[in-house]
Structure 1
Amino acid sequence: MKKEEDTERIVPKTSTVTFDDVIGHKQVKERLKAIVKIFTNPKIVDDFKISPPKGMLIYGPESVGKGMLARAFANAADVPYFEITGSKLFDAAYIKSVYQEAIKHAPSIVILKDIDIKGLYHGTITNISFADVAKEIEDVPITEGKYVFTVATAVEIEEIDPVLLSPGKLDFLIEVSRLDPEARRFFIEKILQKPNDGKIDVQRIVRYITGLGAADLERLGRMAALAVIEQGKKVITEDILIEQINIIKYGHKIESQMIRNLEQEMQMTAYHEAAHAILSYILLPNVKIEQITISPRSKMLGFVSYNNEEQIASVTKEEIFHDICVLHAGQIAKMKKAGKRSAI
């Protein structure tokens, strides 16, 4: 009875999301459009004597639009899709039922959202049954008109069992990086449609929000508007916007009375953060310092933040050594000043 009820709830969806709705990620979208051509014309691979691909994995940080890209793919392919997410990913019977329905509605797409999700089974943290998913992908037909394609999303590709990434399963691996400047600018310009003083440096704010996801930036606009109302002001200013960014990144400011020996702590924090900043400026001149503050927050007493927009993944041994020196600079400075160790 339960299985019949589950099957009744499994209905195909039609995506209204287009690639134009996804901000940024130009190269990713171009690649997905190319894969759509293969999905809609699977015979294109016959000349190379290989079977048509059965799926792809879209992976990358949270809140960068992976789910929207998956639905935009379904829209571009002009086929119905089925989505499996949350606890349903741990239900092998449900997954099987979804694929059976997908075959009935083929050509179609099955979206497996966040397949690196963790669950609790008999008191043990566990992954989904990758073997069950792999079997369903393996068993779907690839005949003309009965093509079922799987689109999985995940944050960490390392969490995905190699069985799913083997040939004939999730053949395409699509990495989606954090939001690029174009995408971040879109969100800031959207925020600036709200009442503001007209003096906000958009480029500066775009740099400040490096690393934040779409959900954070949607929240930023709401937080800024509420802060204006809370403070009895009329418009959003750059200071208000930056403070909300800092709250998202580093936590709320701590009231001074909550810190014991406030003056001494702030003095030591000043030495600590100044040391980080000075040594960074000397040893890592290509790493741009975003801001330096000793204003205590819930996540830290002070900090030096950097803009990592142009930072490359490959670094030299010397650069790693310089990074370590900068990390320890604050501790060494406080030891020199007060003769005691501190947190890095």
Structure 2
Amino acid sequence: MNDNDKQNGPDNNGGNPWMKSLLIWVGILVSLAIFVQLFNGPSTQTQGQVIPYSTFLNRVDEGSVREVNIATNTITGIQTNDEKFRTNALNDPNLIERLRAKNVVMNARPEEGPNIWMAILVQSLPFLLFLGIAFFVLRQMQKGGGGGGAMGFGKSRARMLTQKEGKVTFDDVAGIDEARAELTEIVDFLKDPTKFARLGGKIPKGALLVGSPGTGKTLLARAIAGEAGVPFFTISGSDFVEMFVGVGASRVRDMFEQAKKSAPCIVFIDEIDAVGRHRGAGLGNGNDEREQTLNQLLVEMDGFEANEGIIIVAATNRPDVLDPALLRPGRFDRQVVVPRPDIEGRIKILQVHMKKVPLAPDVDARVIARGTPGFSGADLANLVNEAALMAARKGKRLVANSEFEEAKDKVMMGAERRSMVMTDDEKRMTAYHEAGHAIVSLHEPASDPIHKATIIPRGRALGMVMRLPERDSYSYHRDKMYANLSVAMGGRIAEEIIFGYDKVSSGASGDIQQATSLARDMVTRWGMSDAVGPVEYAEPQGESFLGYSSSAPARMSNKTAELIDSEIKRIVEGGLERARQLLTEHVDQLHTLAGALLEYETLSGDEIKRLIAGEDIGRDEGTPSTPLAAAGTSIPKTRRPRGPFGSPTPQGA
């Protein structure tokens, strides 16, 4: 259960409201039953045992009846042994004589008619029961906690966080210092508005958090709630969307009405792109409902009525699809970019998550951060968690650097599939394929250093060569692109050189796909083809609507399309020939590295360098880390994807 569940669960109101109401109505029904019993019970219990009329006459004749009460339809009485009885009266003219003959005391009383109030209660009981059930159902439908009931469509589903438990502050947010500083100023404004107001400053109306998934946008919002000390309402953009037109707009109005009562306050809308997309993007009632909801949101944020003291904080990873009217100043005055952290940011994030984990002395956050370029905050949290789980499975008391390395490999390359059965020929081809990637990478000056090479199946790949950059890079240079193209083709060329042209497998399908994609970007996006020139011909990256896109590419003729295809082919084949040249010159190194991979299965980048230099790699002879499954069942070559061949794509490429 997360913090929100603790703060907004059924215990918040002292128990489950459905259960409380049900118990109330059960108590009412039990009381009615007791009431009926009190009316009916005593009159029947005090009249004694019911006996046949013939038995009554026999007991009179025997002299065992002391007193009788004669009514119109019933006769009750007391026997000589003080037992009470009751019988139905018949039209018997001799009864009085018999009673006199036995000296029985006779009392005449009128027949008791039915109690009018009891009759009314009995007749109205079904109606009262139906009315109670209807009231119970309607009451629950109208409650529905934040508009969840069937009668509460237009109620806001925003929840107010109290942060009594699991409080998050800015001390728990690391690696995004600039974004944290922007939001810290909003919190300071809420705490001390006079500090800014005396210089004419106005409180910002909204802040839009923009960033990739997992970069910490929601965590920042929770930190604002923990730091501000003011009411904090949270809602998802999808909570406004409903199949009935007008419901979303009603929920927006209700949300701002709630916020006005608690001003100053903060309203956090997560995934605002669910409701804030471009207007006019299609037809249909569903779109009309979304557009009306967005219109109401625009009016509430900056319309004729000022919502003083209400700050809107929203988060999205799709800013390109948001309506321009939503992004203008006065609605979202600040757009705070929450980027993926650099190496210093990753160090701080790892340190935050490592506080909860007992670490061995050999764990260095800087070393782990250097080996995780492009990781988001969520990725790093997952990395630390995976390392802790691995250490727990091994029965360790501390999490060592070896667990972090295994966790990093699992996150980046996938889990090992040691149960996969491979033939000796498959293992040998895989070893030469990965060795081809590694040898080309070692002899390409612009290539990133090799982090690890393995022929253990991971994820969807039978083998892998992982390269990691020495530092964070934010641009992609031409020489590095050509180096990556030749590394991509290294596996295919190694198979061709060692096994022959007819034995080349389909294992390079992923490498060819990545190389083609890179070459296409070089030609159509980055202007790195002299024949095509610096013109963008790529497909639009943004969302188009009504046939228009703000990032539409230049129109191309058939001749231009043929030229682009020929340039892409030329660039890819250039990488192929470069890989062929390097592997032909260093075929002895190819054999050496492939043999070591068959023996040890996994080699680090430093071990590969020492191996190529003719040095001892520092392992016991002939003992692989964990052998692959015994040979016996071959894997179809048409289903042998491999990759990735290179380093993660740098940001901004």
TM-score (structure 2 length as normaliser): 0.44
> Superposition pairs for residues 23-62 of structure 1, below 5 Å?
23-37=174-188, 41=193, 44=196, 53-62=204-213
Structure 2, unaligned runs of 5 or more? 1-141, 143-149, 243-247, 276-283, 512-653
Secondary structure in 2 matching 1:178: coil
1:51 is displaced (CA, Å) by: 7.3
Separation in 2, partners of 1:128, 1:332: 54
Aligned partners of 2:300, 2:498: CA distance in 1, in Å? 64
Per the alignment, residue 249 of structure 1 pairs with: 412
Residues 171-205 of structure 1: CA distance to partner in whole angstroms, max 9, x if unpaired? 311111224232243156336525x4x33444332
Displacement of 1:82 in angstroms is 0.9
Task: State, as a whole percentage, how many aligned pairs show the same letter.
Answer: 29
Q: Per the alignment, in what secondary structure is the counterpart of residue 199 of structure 1? A: coil
Q: How many residues align?
A: 335
After TM superposition, give the deviation of residue 35 of structure 1 in Å.
4.0
Q: Contact 1:88–1:95 at 8 Å: present in 2 too?
A: no
Any residues of structure 2 matched to 1:34-183 within 5 Å, and which? 34-37=185-188, 41=193, 44=196, 53-85=204-236, 87-91=238-242, 92=248, 93-116=250-273, 130-139=294-303, 141-142=305-306, 146-179=308-341, 180-183=345-348
Deviation at 1:214? Answer: 4.1
Q: Which residue of 1 aligns with 2:477?
A: 316
Q: Which residue does 2:552 correspond to in 1?
A: none
Distance in 2 between residues matched to 1:276 and 1:132, nearest whole Å: 57
Contact 1:141 1:147 in 2 (8 A): no
Within 2, Cα distance between the matches of 1:320 and 1:272?
Answer: 21
After TM superposition, the structure 1 = structure 2 runs for residues 220-299 of structure 1, keeping only pairs within 5 Å, are: 220-232=383-395, 235-256=398-419, 258-261=420-423, 263-283=424-444, 285=446, 287-299=448-460
Structure 1 equivalent of residue 161 of structure 2: 13
AA aligned to 1:264 is D
How far apart are residue 71 of structure 1 and its match? 2.6
Give the counterpart letter for 1:147 in structure 2: G
Q: Which runs of 5+ in 1 are unaligned?
A: none
Counterparts in 2 of 1:228 and 1:160: CA distance versus 1, 3 Å: same
How much does 1:152 deviate? 0.8
Tell me the TM-score normalised to structure 1 length.
0.78
Q: Which letter maps to 1:268? A: M
Quick check: which has more Rg, 1 or 2? 2
- Give the aligned CA root-mean-square deviation in angstroms: 3.9
Q: Which runs of 4+ in 1 moved over 6 A?
A: 45-48
**Could you say what secondary structure the match of 1:12 adopts?**
strand
Equivalent residues of 2:358, 2:399 under 8 A apart: no
Aligned partners of 2:157 and 2:235 also within 8 Å: no
Question: Which whole-Å deviations, capped at 9, do the CAs of 1:289-341 have from their partners, x for residues lacking one?
Answer: 33222221123222233335733322334433333333333333334434325
Task: Give how far 1:141 is off.
Answer: 4.8
Inter-CA distance 36–283: structure 2 relative to 1 (3 Å threshold): farther
Moved more, 292-301 or 36-45: 36-45
Instruction: Give, as a single letter, the amino acid of the residue that structure 2 aligns with 1:110.
Output: V
